[in-house]
Every structure is written in structure tokens, then in C-alpha cells.
């Protein structure tokens, strides 16, 4: 805790002293909340199955100075440039290696905070630091990141990709990027977040994203979390939807030693709909926690959730999904499914679907299951000459395929298939 207080004091006295008053106030309130609550423990209901003690006890270091890339790195990244890309290195936006779409405004968050008054309404207004200490910690150091503004009626032709590369110089760095997406009325597009690492040093990514969808906007949010095996990855995405807007998200989680992925969707106005899907695949000692919270606040909202987990080795998976239907949110239609496959005797999954309905005239259902590979199916494949390990992998792949198929066609799906295959390869080489 002390290193955060010290870093915060340094920030306050130093670079941030010149920031606009509301930003300084927001940071101060977030820091006060963080100090008061501290890191969550397994006594907190929302963290019952995920113990963040290792994060609390680590002495994470804030990297100082501007993000710099060697000429070689820039050239390498530029060679890989495909489509529109927003590059982050160690949590910092790097303009030089980004290729930005023309019809969309992408601004360094620090600059946007100082100059764009529209931001004040949204930044920190959706991601609630009072109920989440990691959001508080991120908000207290608000500065790194981007503002993405898609003007009214604009539709992105190609997906916009946010690539977060971790290449820390020393062990135990902390990266706290922040993404604010303001999608205007009837705008649309796909955004892909991709997390990866250039080396194997441990680090901590603590990212907060806020996505605001205007009336009739239609937005797809894809995420690939492939951090290195020593990384901590805590992410929370907060979506606010206006009337008739559509949000879909697809999250693949394969990396990190400990992950907590929170997706919080508020269906603020009527006839908004969201579809959340994802896969988490763990092996070794990985701990992967996928949480969702759908807040049905207005009539005729629709939500669909479909998550699957495949855990091998001694890994542990957690799914916590809550659907809240508030008073007045009549004709809500909510469905949630979570299925898990344990690929070893030592793997474990805790799944906790929750439904809280405070109104009548709604259609809600949820289901959760944890199982193992079916003996009969394994026998069937082996009786056709397929080896035991390959048979298991084929069944596991089939299990995952049902969710992959919801990803739509295109590059993202191809990436998913490749990453899932690679991860299954690793999962079955251990068992």
C-alpha cells in the first residue's frame, strides 16, 4: 500500500499539479477510496474465489519517464502493422507506431483530460471506483491511455485494434492504462484489445475501459488476453448503453498467472441489448476469473451470455455472472450460460450464476455446469484409431468450438482458433 501512497504524492506534487481541477479531484477521491478499502480479500463476496493477496504483497514499480521504443522495436512493430492499430507499450500509448483511422478521433488521454470538456461527463462516471479497489487504483493515477471518439453515424469499416505490449525493463512493473470510448448515435464498429508480452518478466496490468454507446449505436468489443505466464491481469470494462444500442463482446483468456476480467454492462435506456461471450483456458497454476454484471435498468432490454472454461493442470477457473433486473425494467429478456470442462483431476472451477429480479413480466434463465471429458466419447474416438491425448484434445476443441462459432467470421475468429489450438496443445502436453 505504501508504495502507492508515495507514488500518488509524487504525482500530485509533480507532473499532475498542473492538471485541470476535476481530474485532480477525481484522482484524490479515488485514492482516498483505495486507501480506505485496500485490496479486496476472499471475504468480499465478489472475490470469494479469487485471492489477490499476491498482488497486494508485490512491490510493483511505477515506470517513470516517457515510453520509449528503440528504432529496432519501431521497425519491427511497423512491419506487423495491419489495419488500424493503437499501440501501447508498457501501458502507454505510443503514437509513432499507431496507425489511426481517419474518421475516428484518437487522442492521448492526458491531452484529452486537459482539453476536452466532454470527457468530464464520462471519465470515471461509469467505472465505479467506490465498489472496486482496482478501479480506484487505476483512477487515482489517471493519465495513461486514450480517448476514442466515434462521431455520430460513423461506422468503422475495419476493426480498430488496441495492442498492449508488455516489455518491462525490470520485474514487477505496474501498467495502468485507461480507455474511454465514446460511440456517437448510430455509430458502429469493432474494437479488438490484444494483450501480449515481449519478455517473461512479471508485471501487473490494471486496465479500466469505459464504453459509452449512444442511441442506436452498435459496437463489438473483442479481447484477447495472452499476457505472459508471470503477469497479473486485472481488467474491468464498463459499458453504458443508450436506447436501442447493441453491444457485443467476445473475450478469450489464455494468459497470465492471475486474471480477473470484469465486464459490467448497464442497459440504461430501453430496448438496448448486449451479448457477452468468452472462453477461458488455463493450465499449470493459472487462476482465471471471468466476471460479468448486467444491469437491466430500463424496459425491453435483452442480454445474452455464453461463457465456457477449459482448465488443465492445477489451474483454477472462476465464473461469476450476475444479472440484475431493476424495478421498471419490464419485458427484460436475459439468458446466461456457463459451462466448464476440467481436463485434469487437480483443476478446479467455481461457477456462480446469480439472478436478481426486482420486477414482473421478465424472461430470465441461467445455467451452469462443470464436467469432465466424456468416457464414451473418448472411447468412440479411440476406437477409430485416434490416440488418447489427441482424442481428449479433439473433444476439448469441440467443446470450445460452440463458443468460437459465435465470434462471427473474419480475422478475429481466425486468431481465436489459432490461439485456442495452441493453448489446447499446451494443456494436453501437461496432462
Partner 1 sequence: MLEIKNLHVSVEGVEILKGINLKVQAGEVHAIMGPNGSGKSTLTRVLAGHPAYVVTKGSVTYEGKDLFALSIEERARQGIFLAFQYPIDIPGVNNTYFLKAALNEIRKARGLEELDAMEFLEYLKEKMKTVEMDESFLNRPVNEGFSGGEKKRNEILQMAVLSPKLAILDETDSGLDIDALKVVSEGVDRLRRPDRSIILVTHYQRILNYIVPDHVHVLMGGKIVKSGGKDLALHLEEKGYEWVHPV
Contact flag: residue 385 with partner 1 (CB under 8 A): yes
H or E stretch including 236? Answer: strand 232-241
Contact flag: residue 384 with partner 1 (CB under 8 A): yes
Nearer to partner 1, 79 or 384 (CB): 384
Stretch that binds partner 1, among 53-61, 190-198, 269-277, 398-406 (CB under 8 A): 398-406
Could you tell me which residues come within 8 angstroms of residue 110 by beta carbon, excluding any fewer than 6 positions away? 143, 144
**For residue 121, how many other CB atoms are within 10 A of its CB?**
10
Backbone angles phi, psi at 409, to 5 degrees: -85, 165
Q: How far is the CB of 340 from partner 1 (least distance, A)?
A: 15
Q: According to CB under 8 A, which one of 153, 387, 408, 410 is a site residue for partner 1? A: 387
Q: According to CB under 8 A, which one of 89, 276, 318, 395 is a site residue for partner 1? A: 395
Contact flag: residue 380 with partner 1 (CB under 8 A): yes
Stretch that binds partner 1, among 79-87, 230-238, 330-338, 371-379 (CB under 8 A): 371-379
Query: Are the CB atoms for 126 and 172 separated by under 8 Å?
Result: no
Q: Is 183 helix (H, G, I), strand (E, B) or coil?
A: strand
DSSP state of 91: T
**CA-to-CA distance for 153 and 150, rounded, in angstroms?**
8
Q: According to CB under 8 A, which one of 401, 408, 409, 411 is a site residue for partner 1? A: 401
Q: Is 218 helix (H, G, I), strand (E, B) or coil?
A: strand
Q: How far is the CB of 286 from partner 1 (least distance, A)?
A: 23
Q: How far is the CB of 396 from partner 1 (least distance, A)?
A: 9
Q: How far is the CB of 313 from partner 1 (least distance, A)?
A: 22
**Cα dihedral sign for 81, 189, 219, 335?**
negative
Contact flag: residue 379 with partner 1 (CB under 8 A): yes
Binding mask 402-421 for partner 1 (x = CB under 8 A): x-------------------
Q: According to CB under 8 A, which one of 35, 386, 419, 426 is a site residue for partner 1? A: 386
- How many residues bind to partner 1 according to rule CB under 8 A? 24
Contact flag: residue 400 with partner 1 (CB under 8 A): yes
Q: According to CB under 8 A, which one of 366, 382, 417, 426 is a site residue for partner 1? A: 382
Reported in sequence order, the residue ranges of 312-387 that DSSP labels E, i.e. its strands, are 316-325, 333-342, 348-357, 363-372
Q: How far is the CB of 420 from partner 1 (least distance, A)?
A: 11
Query: Are the CB atoms for 260 and 232 separated by under 8 Å?
Result: no
**CA-to-CA distance for 299 and 295, rounded, in angstroms?**
12
Q: How far is the CB of 371 from partner 1 (least distance, A)?
A: 12
Nearer to partner 1, 306 or 399 (CB): 399
**CA-to-CA distance for 330 and 321, rounded, in angstroms?**
20
Query: Are the CB atoms for 364 and 332 separated by under 8 Å?
Result: yes
Contact flag: residue 377 with partner 1 (CB under 8 A): yes
H or E stretch including 61? Answer: strand 61-62
Q: How far is the CB of 311 from partner 1 (least distance, A)?
A: 17
**CA-to-CA distance for 341 and 328, rounded, in angstroms?**
38
Could you tell me which residues come within 8 angstroms of residue 346 by beta carbon, excluding any fewer than 6 positions away? 313, 314
Q: According to CB under 8 A, which one of 10, 75, 390, 418 is a site residue for partner 1? A: 390
Q: How far is the CB of 74 from partner 1 (least distance, A)?
A: 39
Q: How far is the CB of 395 from partner 1 (least distance, A)?
A: 7
Q: Which residues bind partner 1 (CB under 8 A)?
A: 374-377, 379-388, 390-391, 394-395, 397-402
Amino acid at each position: 500500500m505504501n508504495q502507492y501512497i508515495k507514488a500518488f504524492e509524487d504525482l500530485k506534487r509533480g507532473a499532475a499539479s498542473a492538471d485541470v481541477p476535476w481530474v485532480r479531484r477525481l484522482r484524490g477521491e479515488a485514492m482516498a477510496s483505495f486507501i480506505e478499502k485496500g485490496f479486496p480479500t476472499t471475504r468480499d463476496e465478489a472475490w470469494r474465489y479469487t485471492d489477490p493477496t499476491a498482488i497486494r504483497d508485490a512491490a510493483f514499480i511505477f515506470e517513470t519517464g516517457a515510453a520509449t521504443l528503440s528504432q529496432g522495436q519501431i521497425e519491427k512493430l511497423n512491419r506487423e502493422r495491419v489495419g488500424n492499430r493503437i499501440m501501447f507499450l508498457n501501458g502507454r500509448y505510443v503514437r509513432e507506431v499507431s496507425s489511426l483511422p481517419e474518421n475516428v478521433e484518437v487522442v492521448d488521454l492526458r491531452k484529452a483530460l486537459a482539453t476536452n470538456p466532454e470527457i468530464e461527463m464520462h471519465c470515471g462516471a461509469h467505472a465505479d471506483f467506490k465498489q472496486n479497489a482496482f478501479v480506484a487504483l487505476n483512477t487515482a493515477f489517471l493519465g495513461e491511455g486514450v480517448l476514442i471518439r466515434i462521431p455520430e453515424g460513423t461506422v468503422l469499416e475495419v476493426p480498430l485494434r488496441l495492442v498492449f505490449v508488455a516489455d518491462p525493463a525490470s520485474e514487477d512493473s505496474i501498467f495502468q492504462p485507461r480507455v474511454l470510448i465514446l460511440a456517437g448515435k448510430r455509430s458502429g464498429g469493432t474494437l479488438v484489445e490484444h494483450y501480449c508480452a515481449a519478455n517473461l518478466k512479471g508485471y501487473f496490468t490494471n486496465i479500466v475501459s469505459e464504453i459509452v454507446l449512444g442511441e442506436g449505436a452498435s459496437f463489438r468489443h473483442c479481447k484477447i488476453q495472452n499476457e505472459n505466464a508471470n503477469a497479473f491481469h486485472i481488467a474491468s470494462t464498463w459499458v453504458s448503453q443508450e436506447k436501442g444500442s447493441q453491444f457485443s463482446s467476445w473475450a478469450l483468456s489464455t494468459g497470465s498467472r492471475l486474471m480477473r476480467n470484469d465486464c459490467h454492462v448497464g442497459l440504461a435506456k430501453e430496448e438496448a441489448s448486449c451479448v457477452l461471450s468468452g472462453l477461458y483456458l488455463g493450465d499449470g497454476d493459472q487462476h482465471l476469473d471471468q466476471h460479468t454484471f448486467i444491469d437491466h435498468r430500463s424496459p425491453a432490454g435483452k442480454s445474452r451470455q455464453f461463457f465456457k472454461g477449459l482448465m488443465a493442470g492445477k489451474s483454477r477457473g472462476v465464473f461469476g455472472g450476475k444479472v440484475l433486473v431493476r424495478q421498471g425494467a419490464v419485458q427484460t429478456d436475459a439468458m446466461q450460460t456457463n459451462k466448464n470442462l476440467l481436463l485434469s483431476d487437480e483443476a478446479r472451477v467455481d461457477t456462480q450464476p446469480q439472478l436478481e429480479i426486482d420486477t414482473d413480466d421478465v424472461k430470465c434463465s441461467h445455467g451452469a455446469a462443470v464436467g469432465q471429458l466424456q468416457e464414451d466419447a473418448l472411447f468412440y474416438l479411440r476406437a477409430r484409431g485416434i490416440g488418447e491425448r489427441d482424442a481428449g484434445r479433439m473433444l476439448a476443441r469441440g467443446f470450445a468450438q460452440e463458443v468460437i462459432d459465435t465470434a462471427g467470421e473474419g480475422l478475429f475468429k481466425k486468431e481465436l482458433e489459432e490461439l485456442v489450438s495452441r493453448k489446447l496443445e499446451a494443456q494436453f502436453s501437461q496432462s
